[in-house]
Every structure is written in structure tokens, then in C-alpha cells.
Structure 1
Amino acid sequence: MSDVLRAPAETKYAEELDWLESIDDSPKPFSWRLSPKMVRLFILGSERADGLDREISQKWFGDRSFVERSIVTLASDRGLLLIGDPGTGKSWLAELLSAAISRNSTLVVQGTAGTTEDHIKYAWNVSMVIAKGQSRESMIPSPIMTAMETGAIGRFEELTRSTSDVQDALISILSEKYISVPELQGDGKETGDNIVFAKPGFSIIATANSRDRGVNDLSSALKRRFNFVRIPVVTNKKSEAEIVRFRTEELLRRHAIDLDVPPTLLDVLLQSFADLRASAAAAGSDDEKLESSLSTAEQIGVLEDAVLHSNFFGERTLTARALASSLVGSLARRDPEDLAIFNKYLHGVVEPRSKQEGGCWPEFLDGGRDTIATLS
């Protein structure tokens, strides 16, 4: 699917999934395409001890126990709720799990204030209803209903951003494992034609932003129907470097860009985020913190911006100046608060470091100062 901007995981890694399925002789729950062991291997990558004839790439970087608990939950009768700060890879993990288990990660409902009960149950094709009346043929199933009918994994993004009515409707689906269609009752229709039952293998993976607490808190009844897996912010520099490098390589391939990312500049980016996180942790008020979440996803965005700018408008090589400009431009979302925080960081941390260590830091300092001067 080279003509698609972003292919789903089951398409992107189709050849790998086919190969894993062909050698998989372990027990599989329900209608799963891969066994739990193979699902874990697909997500976390292979090791020499696995004894495979080929290498399976690591696609999600995090603690093995989070992946294992997620897989075990999906093999049970309970839904899975991945909760954590923005940019911790919750949605990517949900996509990989759905791709490995069902070979379909596109059955997604996006939770917003405008999400209604119809988005998780069904709607009607008005023209068909007018012409032929309400029937199964004129019904438009939601992604969740489609997942139920096919025994697949349905996904619900940003669950806490949806209203209580939508959350209450989800309780019934998770508890009863069917959706009633009252419009099809009576009129001599066959018994059961007004109910859509979930097939074995159906489950729901929901994600929730831990910073959205208080927006639409989950009821205790809904919480009981989910197993919670909390995804922490990646703070290990080695793991974070692997994630950023993995995503950057994907970006370069997608854009067919032949541009090198020097390891020294990657270290500068990681250290800058570590400094800014430490500053945010020590801040006494929100005004002293950057509005950005400073997540790994933010780092990828900063590096992506710097790489593209260097490729299209620079000398086709990534520089410390371009990286600093991208950092300030991407993360300074409030004026003048965020610019003042960056200015303090450059003078208090980067300037002394550039004098002591040299390397890329002096150029990084100049690039940051110039960008702040431009934005001020």
C-alpha cells in the first residue's frame, strides 16, 4: 500500500504476520489468528533464545509485563483499558494487539464530546429506511458492532472524553456481549433478529489520557468491566533513544529521504527533554512548566520537524541549530510563558554546558536563542 499515507499495522507487517501464523503451533484462544506467545513476540520482537529462522522487529518499546498482561486480559471476558500520559504509546500498542489477534486494527471509535451512542452501536441508512423500512440491510453497524459480529477486537480511543451516556452504553456491551435493536422488534420478525450477539474472540481495547481526569470520569460500574494497564512515561534514555530512532527511520523511509541523524544530536535531544522534565518536576506552579507533555511522542515530533526542514530548506544534513529551532518552535505553545521558560533553560543550563562540553551545544544554544528572538 505504497499509495497510502499510513497503512494499518496488519497491512504494514502483513508478511511478518503471515510467517508467524504459519509456524504457530501453540494454543489460540477463540478465533485469534496468533497464539498469546506469538502476539507478544510480534510486538516485542524476537530474541536469539526464541530459535526462529528469521528476526522479528521490535515495534513497541516498554516493559514486557505490560504487553503480557494486556494479552491475558484480551483472552478473558473483560475489556482492556490502557491508561497513561499523552505520547506513551497507548494507541500504538492497541493497534499492534488488534493487528496480531484479529488482523484488523481499524475497528475504531474516537471518543470526543460529540461521540454519541450511535457511534458505538448502530445508525440507519435513511434512504434505505424510506424505501424499504428498517431492517438489518438498512442498519449501519458501528465499528464496535462489527467487531462483535466478526469476533474481533474493537478499539475505543480517549474513553474519558466521551459523555456518561456513551460510557453507560458501553457497560451493557461489555456485560451482556450483545446489542439489542428495538426498532426491529415485533411485526412478525423472527426471534433473535433484533439482537446482535458477540462472537467468541470479541473484546474492546480502550485508551484513556491520565491528564483528562475530571473531564468525564469513568463510573465504578464501567471500571469493573475493564482491566487497567498503566503505561508510564519512558524515562530510560536507552529505551527512549530506541523509540525515537525507530520512528525516525520510518519517517525517512516514508518520505524517501536520505539524511543521516548523527548520534550526538540524538543525545542532545534526549538530554534536552530530560532537563526540561526535571525543570517541570521542580516547578512550583503550572506557569513555570511548559504546556507540552514532554513525552517521547513530542521528541519524535521535534526531530521529525527538524529532519524535514533540513531536507527541504537546509543543506540536507541535520544540524544542532535546526534541532534547537524545532524544539522551541514545536513546544512553545504559550506566549510569553513558554518562551520565558525556554529562555531560562538556555541561559541556566545550555549556556554553561556549551562552555564546559562544547560539541554540538554551542550551535544548539545559538539556534535556540535565535528562534526565541524571532518568536518574541
Structure 2
Amino acid sequence: MTAEMLRAPAEVKYAAELDWLESVDGGPRPYSWRLSPRMVRLFVLGSRPADGLDRDVDQKWFGDPSLVERAIVTLASDRGLLLIGDPGTGKSWLAELLAAAISRDSTLVVQGTAGTTEDHIKYSWNVSMVIAKGQSRESMIPSPIMTAMERGVIGRFEELTRSTSDVQDALISILSEKYVSIPELDTDSIAFAKPGFSIIATANSRDRGVNELSSALKRRFNFIRIPVVTNKRSEADIVRFRTAELLRRHEIDLDVPPTLLDILLQSFADLRAASAAATSDDERLESALSTAEQIGVLEDAILHSRFFGDRALTAGTLAGSLVGSLARRSPEDLAILNKYWHGVVEPRSKSDGGLWPDFLEGGRQAIATLS
């Protein structure tokens, strides 16, 4: 089944694992939860020998375990959960994993944009059915959030701060009253939330000022800030895990040499340090330099090697993918990358050797091509 999906949701991708966890789960489960809080944590963070399980459960989200535990506790209460952080910190992935483990359905999602309306979080109407039979529950189209309410499961709201104040105000009512009024109907005019319903929202901390959350809406959420991964070992684990998934999806049998992964991690660390030390936006790359972007760079390099190279990933190809992915503004980003290549990569290639000279040359060629 997953082979027929470009990207399978977590509950489909890990269906066998979730089935097994549910079968051995003897812990107390809140309301309509499919797994106990302990098993939800284990599904997200992976198993340990102390758990005493008959099979290993892989870690799927890499970060502070206390953040995951607090998120699970929040969802067991009647408050919403808001995951906030920089782009690429894994907010949406954590939200998907939690919804998959708790409800076995992570697809009840509303994407917040400037075009999101109140209908997207409440309901709309099937116009042809309304004309033929009139307004009724049958002719109503419930939103993903309303569906989650009536089923008593987790609904998700991505990029909350990108939606307008009208949409945010409508969400206040849902989180407070736990029902949606349908004034168009004379009977059956209220959709009540069943026990187990909650909302996981995400917000980009760089979007402050787009549509600030009201104090009333903030009070309905427990905030969990997802920090940027700065630990090289943790970041390497994330990149390896997600890259392995991508390779399986593309049916590519290729090992990423540890030395190349080290070069990628070091380059991003250097560029982040330079961005932090910059005094103006013109001296900073437009890229957020997130872990997700590292994964994108590595995937690009692997696919380029597969289709147009000698099927072996090289430092030169990795450098070309890095430059191509991060050079979004011209000439500003190219100037920053050129400065980095001359000031950092060139001296390092002379002092450290190894694959750095190939990385240096590949980057130079990519910068020259784009200049």
C-alpha cells in the first residue's frame, strides 16, 4: 500500500509497529486513545532495553524526551498543544507521530495560510445537494477539525500564525466550548466534541508579526518550544534516519560515507556561526540552515549521483548541491557562500586534506556557474 503513495502518513508507514504496540499495551489509555501515554512515548522516541519488549522500536523523532512527555500529557488534558520553533526543527513531524500513535489518523489537517477561512475549521456545504434537498447534515461538508471533534481524535492545524484573526477567533470557540454551532439547521444544530478530541497546532517562530496570536487563544494552548538541534551527534542521527527513509523510497542502494556526512554537518555549523555573527540581513543567507535543509541537500546530491554521476556520492557533488540549495538570492547569497569557500573551506582543505579538496573544487565550480 505504501508503494502507491508518494508519502505515506505515519500511521500507514508504521502500521505493523503500531498494531504490535497496541497488542502488548497494558497501560491505562485516556478516552479514545489507541495507545497508552507510555506506549505513545515509546513509539516516538524508540525503545530501550529497560522497556522489556520482545522487539525493538526505532526512534523516529530526535530531541529532548521531556518535550515529548509534556506534549503527551497536554493532549491527555483538555488543552490544545502548540509546537513552536524555527523552520526545520521537526514540529510537523512530531505532531504527525503523536496523532498517528494516539488516533491512528494524522491526516485531519488544516493548513494555515492567508487564504484559510472559518469554513476550513468548521464546515461548508455541498451546493448541489443543498439545491436538491436543502441544508441538512447530509449536505454539510465537515472540516478536518470538526471531523476530529465528532470522532474524538486529534486534529492538526499547521502554521497557525499564518491564518487571519477571524480564523483564530473561531478556533477559540472550538477550544473553549468543545462544540460547533450550525445555525443553518433547525435540528441537530450542534456538533459536540467527543472525549479524546484535541488539537495540535504548529507555529513558525520566524513568523512573528504575520498574525500574532491573541492572548485569549494563547490561553487555550500549552506552548512547547522546539529548539534548533545544535548537538552534532543528534543532528547526524536525524540526517541519517531521514536519508535512509528517502533512499528506501527511491529504491537506491547507497551508503553515505561518514566523512561526507561530517563535511555536511561541519559546513552547516560554520554557516550558522557566520549567520549568527552577521550584523545585517545582507550578510546572512536567506536559508534558515535547518536540519531539514541538510537532508534536502543530501537527497539532492544522492539523486544527482544516481542519475548523472558514477552512482557513488562524492564531495564535489555534495558541494554543488549545497551551493545550489542555499544560493537563493543573487548576488547576496552567492557572495556569502563565496566568502565562506575562500575563507573557511580553502584553508581547511589545505590543513585537513581528505575529501575537503574535492569539496572545495565542487563548490567553486557551482558558485562560478551560478554567478
Q: Which bin holds the TM-score, normalised by the shorter protein?
A: over 0.9
Residue type at the aligned position of 2:341: L
1:81–1:226 Cα contact (<8 Å) kept: yes
- Describe how 1:49-198 pairs up with structure 2 within 5 A: 49-185=50-186, 189=187, 193-198=188-193
In structure 2, the partner of 1:248 is 243
3-state SS in 1 of match to 2:148: helix
Instruction: Please give the TM-score of this superposition, normalised by the length of structure 1.
Output: 0.98
Quote how far apart the aligned CAs of 1:362 are. 0.5
Give distance in 2, aligned partners of 1:208 and 1:251. Answer: 26
In structure 2, the partner of 1:342 is 337
Quote how far apart the aligned CAs of 1:300 are. 0.3
Give distance in 1, aligned partners of 2:112 and 2:150. Answer: 21
Residue type at the aligned position of 2:349: S
In structure 1, the partner of 2:194 is 199
Residue type at the aligned position of 1:149: E
- Alpha-carbon RMSD: 0.4
Quote how far apart the aligned CAs of 1:260 are. 1.8
Residue type at the aligned position of 1:215: V
Choose which of 301, 321, 324 in structure 1 pairs with 2:319: 324
Quote how far apart the aligned CAs of 1:259 are. 1.6
Instruction: Please give the TM-score of this superposition, normalised by the length of structure 2.
Output: 0.99
What is the aligned-residue identity percentage? Answer: 84
1:241–1:270 Cα contact (<8 Å) kept: yes
In structure 1, the partner of 2:268 is 273
Quote how far apart the aligned CAs of 1:62 are. 0.3
3-state SS in 2 of match to 1:234: coil
Give distance in 2, aligned partners of 1:94 and 1:132. Answer: 39
Choose which of 357, 370, 373 in structure 1 pairs with 2:368: 373
Give distance in 2, aligned partners of 1:111 and 1:335. Answer: 30
In structure 2, the partner of 1:232 is 227
Give distance in 1, aligned partners of 2:209 and 2:60. Answer: 32
Quote how far apart the aligned CAs of 1:258 are. 1.4
Residue type at the aligned position of 1:53: D
The size of the alignment, in residue pairs, is 370
3-state SS in 1 of match to 2:264: helix
Choose which of 348, 351, 355 in structure 2 pairs with 1:356: 351
Q: Give unmatched runs, 5+ long, in structure 2.
A: none
Give distance in 1, aligned partners of 2:46 and 2:140. Answer: 41
Quote how far apart the aligned CAs of 1:82 are. 0.2
Q: Give unmatched runs, 5+ long, in structure 1.
A: none
1:160–1:208 Cα contact (<8 Å) kept: yes
Structure 1, residues 268-324: CA drift from partner, whole Å, max 9, x if none?
000000000000010011110000000000000000000000000000000000000
3-state SS in 2 of match to 1:62: coil
Residue type at the aligned position of 1:144: I
Give distance in 2, aligned partners of 1:332 and 1:30. Answer: 49
1:259–1:311 Cα contact (<8 Å) kept: no
